[in-house]
Chains A and B, each alone.
Chain A
């Protein structure tokens, strides 16, 4: 081998070694970047789980005297429909809860019909545990207080007001509706102006906080929780039909 050829071979080998080193370096960098990404993702998951675990348990504190509205059932619910209807449907809900909104959307029409037919008495249990989801405006508490005011002073309008609130449900995480907007919805649902004006007094806020605490203590774990004659309905809450079928078979069993 001539000296020149030998030199060229050596150069080539050096270049190859350098390229391989370059590539190894790049791979090491990418591996570290990938590992960092994975650590970051795990941390983000951990943080979200931690936040979620501590989230929904922030119930409103009971401050002030608990004054329940009038016309409640013996179990503290807002009744809708004939007292002697054969089937009772209890609904635990929060006006901010989007799943409650889906439940309402699917079942309001049917429940309305069953109430008018005298088959069902609906018992409303408004809860306020999603105040954190309205950017500080406490939409859950404000609306639960409003329905309590209506149940007390204009009980015949409670069902319409309840449905109208869900028809205009704000998104979770938004500021919710203003007191004025809630008032307009109530007025449109036939609630007298004098009653609407007392929404902002917050008379039933302590009661709302207290029933919310009691409901969770009594084992309600999520909203909507729907009970037919005291037994939790575990079927599909979000499509039209299943709840009606269950109610009708309960009525037939009477």
Chain B
């Protein structure tokens, strides 16, 4: 029997879950699924935006109550910050992420500058997604399920992209920072961090809107 190729950050005696988590396929498949989810959500939101443009009073499938209302979020100025529905950005950029994930699954290695640029662009996308989340939560006062899916998927794609770029040392970081981040990943603290972060978001939503959601 030939020796199995170990994923990075794993030793022969590492637990199976640890090895699975750090497997290249796991990383890219997660990113692929998250970017597909984001694309689907953007597609639905884009169609909703067209329906709302035709009739601001349109009865959208996800207008469930005062809090869960795509209509309220979709007709806000924040929903088309750049003069067109934000969802169009998802339609433009998510296919690039999907291509990146599929090509990487197929064994393509992108140059360092390419991966670094992808990280920079996706960081901007992440900030935009969180700005929208914050606006929906605290300014608009309504949530839309598809927007929440985008928030979640964007977080996951960002996380996986950052994982790969730290692993492959693509971020031109000072050595000490690079070593610290690698240590973080090796001990799975990055994973704990992202889970905790997502739970904090859930907690924020439940604390603010629980009464309306579970009435």
The chain A residues found within 8 Å of chain B, CB to CB, are 23, 27, 30-31, 34-35, 37-38, 41-42, 44-45, 48-49, 51-53, 55-57, 98-99, 102, 221-224, 234-239, 241-242, 245-246
Contact = CB atoms under 8 A, between A and B. Distances in A.
Interface stretch (B7-15, B159-167, B195-203): B195-203
B3 interface: no
B187 A51 contact: no
Interface stretch (B24-32, B56-64, B108-116, B168-176): B56-64
Interface string B178-215: 00000100011100110110011011001100111111
B212 A51 contact: no
B57 A235 contact: yes
Interface in B55-75: 56-59, 63, 65-67, 69, 71-72, 75
Interface range for B: 20 to 34
B56 A224 contact: no
B95 interface: no
A31 B188 CA distance: 8
B206 A235 contact: no
B212 A222 contact: yes
B199 A45 contact: yes
A241 B65 CA distance: 19
B57 A30 contact: no
Q: Which of B56, B57, B65, B69 has the most CB of A within 10 A?
A: B57
Contacts of A99: 66-67, 141, 212
A35 B192 contact: yes
14 contacts: A34-B192, A34-B196, A38-B192, A45-B203, A52-B206, A52-B213, A55-B215, A56-B215, A99-B212, A235-B56, A235-B59, A236-B63, A238-B142, A242-B56
B66 A49 contact: no
B57 A242 contact: yes
Contacts of A31: 187-189, 192
A38 B192 CA distance: 8
Q: Which of B56, B65, B215 has the most CB of A within 10 A?
A: B215
Contact of B210 (A34, A51, A222, A236): A51
B136 to A, nearest CB: 13
Nearest to A28: B187
A52 B211 contact: yes
Contacts of A53: 214
A44 B205 CA distance: 12
B65 A34 contact: no
Contacts of A23: 183
Q: Which of A45, A102, A241 has the most CB of B within 10 A?
A: A45
Given A41-B199, A237-B66, A30 B189 contact: yes
Contact of B211 (A56, A238, A245): A56
A236 B62 CA distance: 12
Given A45-B202, A48-B210, 19 more contacts: A23-B183, A38-B192, A48-B206, A52-B215, A53-B214, A55-B214, A56-B215, A99-B141, A222-B65, A222-B66, A234-B63, A235-B58, A235-B63, A236-B63, A236-B69, A236-B72, A236-B75, A245-B56, A246-B57
Given A51-B210, A236-B71, A27 B56 contact: no
A205 B142 CA distance: 32
A44 B196 CA distance: 12
A35 B196 CA distance: 9
A48 B65 contact: no
